[in-house]
Amino acid sequence: MISKIKLIIWLIVLLLTAYFVSMNTQPQISIKLLPTYETPEIPLAIVIILSIVIGALLILVFTITDWIAFKFEKLKLKRKISSLEKDLEKCQKSIKSLEEENKKLKEQLEIEKNKQNIKVEMEDKKSGPL
């Protein structure tokens, strides 16, 4: 939708420029490019068209540099995301192994508790009735 709006705006600008150029074909002007260099007399319409083309080219250059910077930033962020995903995977594996180790330690603790209960019960039986 936005691209269609931009296209319509560009068409309006071009139509206005064409209308303005068609109204100014008659005067001949010379342009001072440098203090010592002056162009021969050329129609004003050509000056207008060249000004618009040069402006469009400058805008294109600035847009391309911004686009390239955006692409580099995007690539940098993709690499960072990939690195963080690898770190996340390592952490998840570590969590899983720690949970397994925790489970084994709990089982060993239960075994040790059971052994101590057996020992306590045997000592109670050895001491006999009072």
Chain segment 77-105, per-residue pLDDT in tens = 999 999 999 999 999 999 999 999 999 99
Residue 32 pairs with which residues in a beta bridge? 38
Domains of the chain: total: 1
- Residue range 5-10: mean pLDDT, rounded: 86
Q: Is the pLDDT of residue 125 over 70?
A: no
Structure tokens at 120: 């306590």
Find the domain containing 83 and state its range: 2-127
Share of the chain above pLDDT 70, in %: 88
Per-residue pLDDT, 37? 86
Per-residue pLDDT, 104? 94
- Residue range 21-41: mean pLDDT, rounded: 80
Per-residue confidence at 128, pLDDT binned at 50, 70, 90? low
**Rounded to an integer, what distance in angstroms lies between the CA atom of residue 129 and that of residue 84?**
67
Q: How wide is the angle at C-alpha 68 spanned by C-alphas 66 and 74, nearest 5°?
A: 100
Kindly state the DSSP code that residue 30 receives in the 8-state scheme.
-
